[in-house]
Structure 1
Amino acid sequence: MRKLDIVDWGVILLGLDDIAGIEGRLYASDIANFAAHELMSISSGEDLFDVVACLALDSEISTIVLREQVEKICNTKALNLDLSKRKWRLVAMEYLLAQLSTESVYGLIELSGFWAAHEWSSDAPPSMLGKRNDISSERYHSKAHFEHVIEEHQQWLQKERTCLIPRNYD
């Protein structure tokens, strides 16, 4: 996520819990590293300076206190956690597609499982929203249909990247 430049405090907060499609979660040391980076852009007089400094300096902080502090940051900054969920979903989909089964039946099951875990989001690719349900089971599980579904997911990823990843202008 850091490579994509999409980490913010909302992403950090959600990363304290299990994320559908991502193995593991963030630890205090991950948050301390992010907080240390964030400290470079905060002046000592700002409201959140002490909270961010505490997170940057204490990688042994308890999960309960850690969550409270990160929630305080998110609330103060009025962050959109739905946007943060989309960022995690983007990374999870990139991971899934990179290791997706090449067998059409299993690949379709994996993709369906992903979207089920994400509550069948309304912005999912059309093939995952039950559209075009009039095709036969044989056609649905065909290699050609599977390739079409993968292409829809690649297009979805590109659209999400465009929306979520800031452009760095030189």
Structure 2
Amino acid sequence: MSWLRWIAAILVCGWLGQYALAMLVPHLVMERLYQKFAEARAPNQMNLTPRPDENSRWVVRPSPDLLYASCLYNLEQGPVVISAPVPERYWSMQFYQMNTDNFAGISNQREQRFRVGTRVEVTLIGPDADPAEYSGEVIQSPTTRGVMLLRASGIGDASQSQAAIAGSRCAPL
């Protein structure tokens, strides 16, 4: 009968342990990513990434069909303004908090096709800021630190996408 208790205890510990692991791992992944990006560029600045190839591993398996730029944001000193021209082909601006959750996104696909040919300008504010105090497009981050990832199609003639990535900015308000 004691072996049944051992099996039950192992199963209960495993069942409970998976929740602790599921809550801890995303934070560890983002802290590592944040530190790795911070080695290349200080927070609240755009980081243009070279086109990925078979040796690129700054993130796990980046797509060689996409051009990337990122902005580590730290909203402790105030809002950050992120702006980028929107090309015709695939383009996406995604915001991630420190537990890997994607809390906001802007694209030029489907119902957001109206953005093609415009310049997106987003004021990113912290969790305690009041969105009513800001004009234009405002996104409120649930955390003071995180990552904005900009992606654009690099398939075929990527000159328009490259220009859009190169013309993107991230700076304190």
More strand by share: 2
More helix by share: 1
| TM-score for both structures, normalised by structure 1 | 0.26
| TM-score for both structures, normalised by structure 2 | 0.25
